[in-house]
Amino acid sequence: MSKITQSAKGEQCTLRLAGVCNFNTETTVLAHLGRKRGMGIKSNDIHGCYACSSCHAVEEDKSDPRCTWEDRFRALEETQLILIEKGLIANA
């Protein structure tokens, strides 16, 4: 498990889908974003966001209209700023 994946533990959900998010930091994981690549094939960890168990379940179903690409991009931006603050990725 990478340091970026581990960094999700105890974090606030950055996906925060309206009517979905459970705001439970105990369930937060790194949700790998991006197009569906096939079973067990995920995007790079830097292309992920922090997601509670409820938001993660909806995000994984790429056809679920409750999670838009705008939601994913906003969460990705927020998560990457946190990763910069934690020193896990560098600000160019």
Which sequence positions are flagged as catalytic?
32
Contact 33, 67 (CB under 8 A): no
Residue 31: phi and psi, rounded to 5, are: -95, 120
Structure tokens, 6: 């581990």
Contact 52, 13 (CB under 8 A): yes
